[in-house]
Amino acid sequence: MSLTNNPNVLKWVEEMTALTKPDKVVWIDGSKEQLDSLIEEVTSLPDGDKDKMYKLNPDKLPGCLYHRTLPNDVARVEDRTFICCRNKEDAGPTNNWCDPKEMYAKLTPMYDGVMKGRTMYVIPYSMGPIGSSLAKVGVELTDSIYVVLNMNIMTRMGKDAFKNLGDTSNDFVRGLHSKADVDPEKRYIVHFPEDNTIWSINSAYGGNVLLGKKCFALRIASYQGKNEGWMAEHMLILGVKKPDGEVKYITAAFPSACGKTNLAMLIPPEGYKKDGYEVFTVGDDIAWMKQGEDGKLYAINPENGFFGVAPGTNAKSNYNALASTSKNTIFTNVAINNDDNTVWWEGLDKNPPVNATEWKGEKVNGKEYTSVIGADGKPQKLAHPNSRFTAPAENCPCISPEFNNPKGVPVSAIIFGGRRASTTPLVYQSFDWTHGTYVGSAVSSETTAAATGAVGVLRHDPMAMKPFIGYNVGDYWAHWLEMGKKLGDNAPKIFNVNWFKQDENGNFIWPGFGDNMRVLDWIIKRCEGKIDADETAIGYVPKKGDINVKGIEDEVTPEIMEKLLAVDKDLWTKEIAEMRRYYKEDIADKGGRIPAELEEELNKLEARLNK
């Protein structure tokens, strides 16, 4: 039985049912009874079924489930991800493009009858709090119970989602997914922004099949935001409660492996805790931001859970993230400790289980297995390096009291950051919104040993959005500039941070983790106009002594602080040359429409540096 009278939804579900030909159609109402029944069904499937899930130890991990994907289906597949808009130029140089007619013609036969013998689940969901004017509605059709159960954690799923849509609106995102075949050459994750539509086929991995996540919340939403005058960004949202009780909200964008989740769930150092500082998590991955009635920029987290990378997460590196996985969590491609039916991954602790099942399903002696050298010449992992947990946000010990506020939270500062060994200081502030937009366009990270290929190669990732902009990157930058004009004096201040500066021996010279609170403290004081700064060619940097190092004086000496905040003319001259190359060769020459204002910011930066 359908959960809505909306003719636009009903017509589309009818059309997709006729195409995919499932044996039956089940509408997901989000009730506990329905979800419990699906859990019983999916955990009763035989081993080897692509949807099979396992119950974990109910005493140690209550309500938690385990799933493993196929070994060739373990991550987002950017080369199989497409933006299909009518004009190729509108997709721009950072996206794979295909003509919508051509892509529909290619995929329709693949979906024809694909759900025969299976059930189609109709998942209504809200991205953002039910009733929020910032929220948007999606409907995902899938033949996977794994997807239903994950969407229940990651979104506000169920019949209430239709409240925002009503009985007449056509403003919902249509998502069609089938796990279908296992052939990666037939795997497609396709966005039709002009049709509000996402089609995903031949994958069962979260990032490719939980269509509310990157597909809707960033690629489609960034396109919607451009047309409707708001912003969908790959940003965490955190609140810092000061001793006087006021909470300041900050959003931040970082490429992968730059400490985004750790910052979102930061635990302040002891001295700050004693003074009454607290950090609240509003979101760890995505922010939707819109101008409020008072002229300020407000942010919501469109998601309802965390889809986190398991390896490296432990009580020391991120206590709050680990605590979030303690109940009602789905673990994917981690290892199993067979002695007590719990989970394990590299970096959780230093004691791999002896009686283990590794991520592909093979029973092994964990301690011996982790010393076996694989075909790539590296020790074998019990958990896949991209293994995941899907955890409810409500489990997080530091979740913000404003998490479900339909109005969102007012943003005081926006932070960009990357992993840079030398050039970029620990923190600097842009001169204004236009300069800050340039700083965001210049976000880049140096490759680490964890990535394949050479170490220290610069990878550009503008606003940490490169894989997620649903349209031309140049038009995206122009939209940022437009938002700045709209916000005027109410625009948040824009900063850049770099936790990863190194000494001549390759050691990090900033302690990072909880001590990043010291940088947030300076940023907040700058936003409040309570502290001055030194003007440099690249922006405003902290004055000597203005970053609080109380308690870490032995680690961060005045000499080290000087290195952390240094602006080296030679390095920045190289940076400017690289940005000119990047703008021309990677963007403009490939159809990216770079706003003149950003070219001008680059010229101004060079002029200031040469003064």
Q: Enumerate the active-site residues.
A: 258
DSSP string, 220-286: IHHHHHHHHT-EEES-EEEEEE-TTS-EEEEEEE--TTS-HHHHHT----HHHHHTT-EEEEEESS-
Q: Which helix (H) or strand (E) holds 16?
A: helix 7-20
Residue among 91, 68, 90 nearest 81 (CA): 91
Q: How far is CA 438 from the centre of its chain?
A: 21
Alpha-carbon distance values, 490 to 285, 412, 482, 493, 539 (Å): 24, 9, 14, 9, 20
Residue pair 91/354 in contact by the 8 Å Cβ criterion: no
Residue among 384, 399, 287, 301 nearest 336 (CA): 384
Identify the three-state secondary structure at position 431.
coil
CA distance linking residue 309 with residue 146, whole number of Å: 18
Beta bridge partners of 231: 289
Question: Residue type for 116, please?
Answer: K
Question: Helices (H), strands (E): how many in the chain?
Answer: 17, 31
Residue pair 382/356 in contact by the 8 Å Cβ criterion: yes
CA distance linking residue 490 with residue 483, whole number of Å: 11
CA distance linking residue 380 with residue 383, whole number of Å: 9
Residue among 119, 103, 111 nearest 180 (CA): 111
Identify the three-state secondary structure at position 178.
strand
Query: Encoding tokens for residue 493?
Result: 């201040």
CA distance linking residue 527 with residue 232, whole number of Å: 23
Place of tokens 């989970």: 343
Query: Encoding tokens for residue 535?
Result: 């003007």
Alpha-carbon distance values, 58 to 46, 190, 328 (Å): 21, 38, 10
- The length of the chain is 611
CA distance linking residue 149 with residue 355, whole number of Å: 28
- What order of strands is seen across the sheet that includes strand 355-357? 342-344, 335-337, 355-357, 363-365
CA distance linking residue 431 with residue 488, whole number of Å: 14
Beta bridge partners of 382: none
Angle at 401 between CA 398 and CA 406, to 5 degrees: 130
CA distance linking residue 534 with residue 544, whole number of Å: 9
Query: Encoding tokens for residue 371?
Result: 């010393």
Within 13 A of 185's CA, how many CA atoms are on the CB side?
0
Phi, psi angle pair for 208, to nearest 5°: -95, -15
